[in-house]
C-alpha cells in the first residue's frame, strides 16, 4: 500500500465509501508543504480543494493595509469550506492558507466537487459538516475579537496554537504573535509577561510554554 493510500484510508476510510476513496486516489494529487509555506493566497483562483492528511493549516484574513488576522486552524481530516465555496462559485480566494506545521494533503480538482455531492452521501455529509464546523469557528473568532479582552485573546490564541501543534512549548516570536492577532508587538510583550506572572505560561528566549491547557 502506498503512503498516499495508507494516509487516505487512515484519515477518511471510516467516512467515505470504498468507491469514493478509489476516486479520490485516482484524481487527487498528493502534496507535502513545509511549515510557513503559503498553500492558497488571497486573490488566487482556486482550482482544487485540500483534504488535510497530516499537520495543521492556519487560515488568515488580510485588511487593506496588508495586516493579517488568524480566523481558525485546519487539522488532519479537515477541509476548508471557504475554499470549496470559491471552487463552486469560480471566485477568487478571500483567505490565505499557511502551513502552521509541515503538512501533507490531497488536492482534489474542483470539477469533482459538485459531482460527488450528488453521487456520494458520505461526501455530502462531510461537506455539510465542514461548513458547519467552519461557521462555528468563524463565530468563535468574531466573539473572541468582540467580547474578550486582549490578554484573554492572547491566551486563547496560545492554547489553540499549542493544541494544533500537539506541543505545549511553542517556537514563535512576539512579532509573529502580534501579526496573527492584528495588534502591536509592544502590547503582546506586555501581556505575555502578565500571563507569565499569572502562572499561565513560561517565557523562554525563543519559545513559550503553555502551562494551562
Q: Where are the domains of the chain?
A: 3-146, 148-210
Q: Is 128 helix (H, G, I), strand (E, B) or coil?
A: helix
Query: Considering the domain 148-210 in this protein, what is its CATH number?
Result: 1.10.10.10
Q: What is the pLDDT of residue 44?
A: 87
Distance from chain centroid for Cα 82: 11
Closest CA to 66 of 98, 111, 23, 96: 96
Q: What is the pLDDT of residue 89?
A: 65
Q: What is the pLDDT of residue 2?
A: 66
> What crossing angle do the helices spanning 185-197 and 174-181 adopt, rounded to 10°?
110
Q: What is the pLDDT of residue 84?
A: 72
Query: Considering the domain 3-146 in this protein, what is its CATH number?
Result: 2.60.120.10
Cell of 186: 509592544
Handedness of CA 7, 10, 16, 20 (dihedral sign): positive
Instruction: Please state the pTM of the whole predicted model.
Output: 0.79
CA distance 16 to 106: 15
Residue 38: in which H helix or E strand, if any?
strand 38-40
Q: What is the pLDDT of residue 67?
A: 80
Same fold, 3-146 and 148-210: no
The angle subtended at Cα 207 by Cα 175 and Cα 102, nearest 5°, is 85
CA distance 154 to 116: 40
- pLDDT (tens, 9 = 90+) of the chain, 213 residues, equals 467 788 888 888 889 999 999 999 999 999 999 999 999 898 888 888 889 999 999 999 888 887 888 888 999 888 887 777 776 666 788 889 999 999 999 999 888 887 898 899 999 999 899 888 888 888 888 888 887 889 999 999 999 999 999 899 999 999 999 999 988 899 999 999 999 999 999 999 889 999 976
Phi-psi region of 151 (alpha: psi -120 to 50; beta: other; left: phi over 0): alpha
Amino acid at each position: 500500500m502506498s503512503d498516499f493510500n495508507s494516509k487516505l484510508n487512515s484519515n477518511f476510510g471510516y467516512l467515505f465509501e470504498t468507491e469514493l476513496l478509489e476516486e479520490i486516489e485516482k484524481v487527487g494529487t498528493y502534496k507535502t508543504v513545509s511549515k510557513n509555506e503559503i498553500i492558497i493566497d488571497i486573490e488566487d483562483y482556486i482550482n482544487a480543494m485540500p483534504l488535510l492528511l497530516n499537520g495543521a493549516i492556519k487560515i488568515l484574513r488580510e485588511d487593506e493595509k496588508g495586516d493579517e488576522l488568524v480566523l481558525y486552524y485546519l487539522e488532519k481530516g479537515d477541509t476548508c469550506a471557504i475554499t470549496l465555496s470559491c471552487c463552486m462559485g469560480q471566485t477568487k480566494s478571500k483567505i490565505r492558507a499557511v502551513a502552521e506545521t509541515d503538512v501533507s494533503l490531497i488536492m482534489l480538482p474542483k470539477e469533482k466537487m459538485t459531482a460527488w455531492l450528488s453521487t456520494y452521501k458520505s461526501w455530502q455529509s462531510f461537506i455539510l459538516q465542514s461548513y458547519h464546523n467552519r461557521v462555528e469557528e468563524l463565530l468563535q473568532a468574531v466573539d473572541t475579537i468582540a467580547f474578550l479582552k486582549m490578554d484573554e485573546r492572547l491566551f486563547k490564541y496560545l492554547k489553540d496554537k499549542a493544541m494544533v501543534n500537539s506541543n505545549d512549548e511553542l517556537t514563535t516570536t512576539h512579532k509573529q504573535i502580534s501579526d496573527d492577532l492584528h495588534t502591536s508587538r509592544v502590547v503582546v510583550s506586555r501581556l505575555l509577561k502578565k500571563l507569565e506572572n499569572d502562572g499561565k505560561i513560561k517565557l523562554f528566549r525563543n519559545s513559550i510554554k503553555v502551562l494551562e491547557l
